[in-house]
Amino acid sequence: MKTRRIGPFEVSAVGLGCMNLSHAYGVPPSRQTAAAVLLGALDQGITLFDTAALYGFGSNEELVGDVLAVHRERIVLTSKCGMQGVNGQRVIDGRPETLRASVEASLKRLKTDVIDLLYLHRLDPAVPIEDSVGAMAGLVQAGKLRALGLSEVSAATLRRAHAVHPIAALQSEYSLWTRNPEIAVLQACRELGTAFVAFSPLGRGFLGGKLRSVHTLEPKDIRRAMPRFSPELFAANLGLLDVFCQEALTLGCAPATLALAWLLHQGDDIVPIPGTSRPEHVRDLALAPLLALNATTLQRLDALINQRTVRGARYSSATQAEIDTEEF
């Protein structure tokens, strides 16, 4: 496994997003299957594991802690605060006292004394970013965190936060079919020395090539509320997928491997964190750093799937109102 840098850490070039092992995409896999995914990723050389207090309202952190605590010295452990479950509801709360309490709870669930990298999961519009990051910086000084990150924020917010404490990583959605970071955030990260961690690098499963009908999505799958996954727009986007899968076939790799390889070619400071609930798919993710793409292939992919060719917004208007990212 090739490696990349996030702040003080050397991490696998591809990490593992753990959310879908407990959260968001319908009924999660069994505990046994989820553990097989985590341990399979470790066996493939993946060392970066990403969870959050929100995922499964704490259960994802408990899963990661239960399975990986014995391997703690081999991994870079990341989590998020500032958005969590309260009385069964998702709540954004960036107040310093809330963040401090959230971290204490996360440490217990993760079975560790320190979290390597903690992100502010969402910007709380009621709390200045300086206050939230200031509280997190205090936890670094207290030895409970090693580095700080932000999730789904704009270039302007990143700069304000970085003025309070160095921001080791900014996490946002980035893939062939979600290009928003190219507007401003990627450039800001490079100016500040902040790594970019790409979540949903497989387009929430679309670029994996297996999902061919949204009617198969489970009732509580969050994709049902995303415009791109509405039946009409999804059907329109399937034409792009057919050509993309043919590109992967020509190269002799899985579509997921190709999607991740494209992302890795966008810069050495980019670390994708795909997720999967199937142990047999982990190897496709781990192979991406080994797939070299020439300029002609990269140009074809860029022209095929981009913000002009994909139909539909990535979020509903209500969800978009909760985040701080630049939008086309």
User: Among all residues, which ones are annotated catalytic?
Assistant: 55
Token digits of residue 7:
């702040």
Dihedrals φ, ψ of 3, to 5°?
Answer: -125, 160
Q: Distances in Å between the alpha carbon of 11 and those of 30, 131, 157, 213, 260?
A: 28, 29, 25, 35, 16
**How far from 43 is each of 74, 75, 170, 283, CA to CA, in Å?**
11, 12, 27, 10
Task: Give the residues across from 10 on adjacent strands.
Answer: 5
Nearest by Cα to 196 from 150, 231, 162, 165: 150
C-alpha closest to that of 77 among 49, 100, 53: 49
Q: What CA–CA distance (Å, rounded) separates 276 from 100?
A: 30
Count the alpha carbons within 13 Å of 281 in the hemisphere toward its beta carbon: 17
Pairing of strands 195-199, 270-273: parallel
Please provide the DSSP assignment of 277-292 as one string. S-GGGHHHHHTGGG--
Angstrom distance (rounded) from CA 168 to CA 157: 14
The residue type of 75 is I
CA distances 235 to 67, 103, 221, 249, Å, are 39, 42, 18, 22
For residue 40 the two structure tokens come to 């399979």
